[in-house]
């Protein structure tokens, strides 16, 4: 559908929020201890923040939970039973106030989880999700969305995008049918947009992702990987905060005759991730794992999924205990 532009006055946001809460769950950003930002389900409107730079963790857990139960089973001597999960019972969730890098990440995840065989759990959660994005009026030196084809006011992945205006109100870009349905529920809140000036930050472009992808196609054996990953301790923090990392493990947990199978987040940065039962590990040193992380996101995915595997949020750089600044590494890789 064609995007339409409206205005929401600052004082009307609470009404919209409360209306949405009447029959859905809302996942919204709040300030936590030590000035950290985290998302919570159904916080009071007074707790929700609108001026945050970024949450510590991304919001991928709404569609790809840290732990997802896949089915339950009972094993008896004579028979076994398996009880599946009723995907219809997944709740409808409104993601409120996610920044454009995080909303764009849902498209990246879709290109992974629905690439060949559709992952029913992921698809069912995404179907029940309505995304109200919030354009950024703040950024820092670690943000690089403009280097991966996005921008601080990109509407990719949002059903409605709120763009801050200089006067404190918000422009509402209504992008999808899901967004239109929200507008139809509270039409009085959405006023006609004039020519009010938007208040959006500027993010400097640090590299050209097309040139980088082309350079990486011949970089597998380059000494860069070893030289630049010696300090990586393989902690996996970069993958756990990343909105687009999708590695997972599958485990069974049993007690007596009853058990469940679940999947949980994992990381290709861990040595155990590729360890075979034979004892052979095709990625036995950290530099091979670091290379995999970069090549998957910036070479294999553009080739196979027609999507970069990174949205330039900079979270991995903020979380890394040894300062492996990904944008600096990508800049350097462009020139090898």
Residue 330 as a binder of ligand SF4 (CB under 6 A): the answer is no
Q: How far apart (Å, rounded) are the C-alpha atoms in residues 268 and 270?
A: 5
Site for ligand SF4 in 205-244 (CB under 6 A): 232-238, 241-244
Residue 310 as a binder of ligand SF4 (CB under 6 A): the answer is yes
Residue 314 as a binder of ligand SF4 (CB under 6 A): the answer is yes
Strands 170-174 and 191-192, sheet pairing: unpaired
DSSP for 85-148, written as a single string: --GGGSPPEEEEEE-HHHHHHHHHHHHHHTSSS--HHHHHHHHTEEEEEE--S---TT--GGGG
DSSP for 46-86, written as a single string: GGB-SS-S--SS-SGGGTS-SEEEEEEEEE-SS-EEEEE--
Nearer to ligand SF4, 136 or 316 (CB): 316
Residue 200 as a binder of ligand SF4 (CB under 6 A): the answer is no
> CB of residue 245 vs ligand SF4: minimum separation in angstroms?
6
> CB of residue 238 vs ligand SF4: minimum separation in angstroms?
3
First to last CA, the chain: 43
- Based on the number of CB atoms within 10 Å of its own CB, is 207 exposed (0-12), middle (13-18) or buried (19 or more)? buried
Q: Which stretch binds ligand SF4 (CB under 6 A): 59-67, 195-203, 206-214, 309-317?
A: 309-317
- Tokens standing for residue 183: 């507008």
Of the residues 87, 198, 230, 322, which one makes contact with ligand SF4 according to CB under 6 A: 322
> CB of residue 290 vs ligand SF4: minimum separation in angstroms?
7
> CB of residue 139 vs ligand SF4: minimum separation in angstroms?
13
Q: Which stretch binds ligand SF4 (CB under 6 A): 61-69, 70-78, 248-256, 311-319?
A: 311-319
Is the CB of residue 22 less than 8 Å from the CB of residue 188?
Answer: no
Of the residues 212, 326, 330, 333, which one makes contact with ligand SF4 according to CB under 6 A: 326
Residue 324 as a binder of ligand SF4 (CB under 6 A): the answer is yes
Binding site for ligand SF4 (CB under 6 A): 232-238, 241-244, 269, 297, 310-316, 319-322, 324, 326
């Amino acid at each position: 559908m064609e995007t339409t532009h409206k205005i929401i006055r600052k004082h009307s946001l609470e009404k919209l929020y409360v209306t949405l809460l009447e029959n859905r769950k809302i996942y919204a950003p709040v300030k936590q201890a030590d000035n950290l930002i985290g998302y919570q389900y159904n916080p009071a409107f007074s707790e929700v923040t609108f001026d945050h730079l970024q949450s510590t963790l991304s919001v991928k857990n709404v569609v790809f939970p840290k732990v997802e139960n896949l089915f339950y089973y009972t094993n008896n001597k004579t028979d076994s039973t398996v009880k599946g999960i009723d995907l219809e019972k997944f709740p409808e969730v409104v993601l409120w106030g996610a920044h454009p890098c995080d909303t764009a990440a849902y498209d990246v995840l879709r290109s992974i989880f629905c690439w060949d065989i559709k992952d029913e759990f992921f698809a069912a959660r995404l179907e029940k999700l309505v995304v109200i994005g919030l354009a950024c009026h703040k950024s820092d030196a670690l943000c690089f969305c403009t280097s991966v084809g996005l921008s601080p006011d990109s509407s990719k992945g949002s059903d409605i995008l709120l763009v801050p205006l200089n006067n404190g109100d918000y422009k509402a870009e209504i992008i999808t049918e899901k967004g239109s349905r929200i507008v139809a529920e509270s039409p009085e809140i959405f006023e006609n947009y004039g020519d009010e000036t938007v208040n959006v930050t500027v993010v400097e472009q640090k590299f050209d992702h097309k040139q980088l992808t082309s350079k990486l196609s011949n970089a597998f054996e380059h000494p860069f990987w070893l030289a630049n990953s010696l300090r990586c301790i393989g902690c996996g923090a970069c993958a756990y905060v990343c909105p687009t990392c999708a590695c997972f493990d599958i485990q069974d947990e049993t007690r007596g005759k009853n058990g469940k199978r679940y999947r949980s987040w994992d990381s290709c940065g861990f040595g155990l991730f590729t360890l075979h039962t034979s004892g052979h590990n095709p990625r036995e040193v950290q530099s091979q794992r670091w290379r995999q992380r970069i090549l998957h996101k910036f070479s294999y995915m553009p080739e196979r999924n027609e999507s970069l595997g990174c949205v330039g949020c900079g979270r991995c750089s903020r979380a890394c205990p040894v300062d492996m600044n990904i944008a600096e590494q990508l800049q350097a890789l462009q020139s090898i």
